[in-house]
């Protein structure tokens, strides 16, 4: 049996009640696009490092640059993307902008994702 066959039913049958229940619960294209954009944002290692850093402590661009080992310009660019997606926010103190996660939802999403991948690594060892 090939790998393609393993992922398929052996017969073609539609479970009408199950299909209707899921279709009724399914969100619209606009929500699907926003959710895909959110997960795309999490698909970049630099942004992941920034989010983890901000989950740990509020930091300015200079601090983030030092933590993750990237240029201030690169960090600033990634922060702009994260800010546009409402994943991070900032506050101004004099001439310094301090960044933090936008809200508890972002922290929860990130923490659960981190737990998922670290648990998978533990079971593989």
Separation CA 119–CA 121 (nearest Å):
5
Model confidence at 4: pLDDT above 60: no
**What is the model's pLDDT at position 60?**
97
Whether the per-residue pLDDT at 123 is higher than 80: the answer is no
| pLDDT in the model for residue 44 | 94
Q: Which two tokens stand for residue 88?
A: 């991070």
CB count, 10 Å around CB of 110? 18
What is the predicted pLDDT for the residue at 14?
86
**100-124 mean pLDDT:** 87
What is the per-residue pLDDT for 9? 74
The mean per-residue pLDDT over the stretch 91-107 comes to: 95
Is the pLDDT at 92 greater than 90? The verdict is yes
CA nearest to 100, candidates 87, 109, 112:
87
Alpha-carbon dihedral angle through residues 57, 107, 29, 7, given to the nearest 10 degrees: 120
User: Any idea of the CA torsion for 77, 78, 83, 88, to the nearest 10 degrees?
Assistant: -140
Average pLDDT, the chain: 90
Give the architecture (CATH level 2) of 15-124.
Answer: Orthogonal Bundle (1.10)
Average pLDDT of 3-32? 85
pLDDT at 62 over 90: yes
Is residue 5's pLDDT more than 70?
no
The model's confidence at residue 104, banded by pLDDT at 50, 70 and 90, is very high
């Amino acid at each position: 049996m090939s790998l393609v066959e393993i992922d398929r039913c052996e017969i073609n049958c539609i479970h009408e009640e199950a299909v209707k229940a899921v279709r009724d619960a399914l969100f619209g294209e606009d929500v699907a696009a926003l959710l895909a954009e959110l997960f795309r944002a999490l698909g970049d290692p630099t942004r992941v490092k920034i989010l983890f850093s901000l989950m740990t402590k509020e930091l300015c661009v200079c601090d983030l640059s030092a933590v993750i080992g990237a240029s201030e310009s690169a960090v600033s660019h990634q922060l702009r993307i994260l800010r546009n997606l409402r994943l991070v926010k900032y506050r101004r103190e004099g001439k310094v902008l301090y960044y933090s996660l936008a809200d508890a939802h972002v922290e929860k999403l990130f923490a659960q994702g981190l737990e998922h991948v670290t648990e998978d690594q533990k079971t593989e060892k």
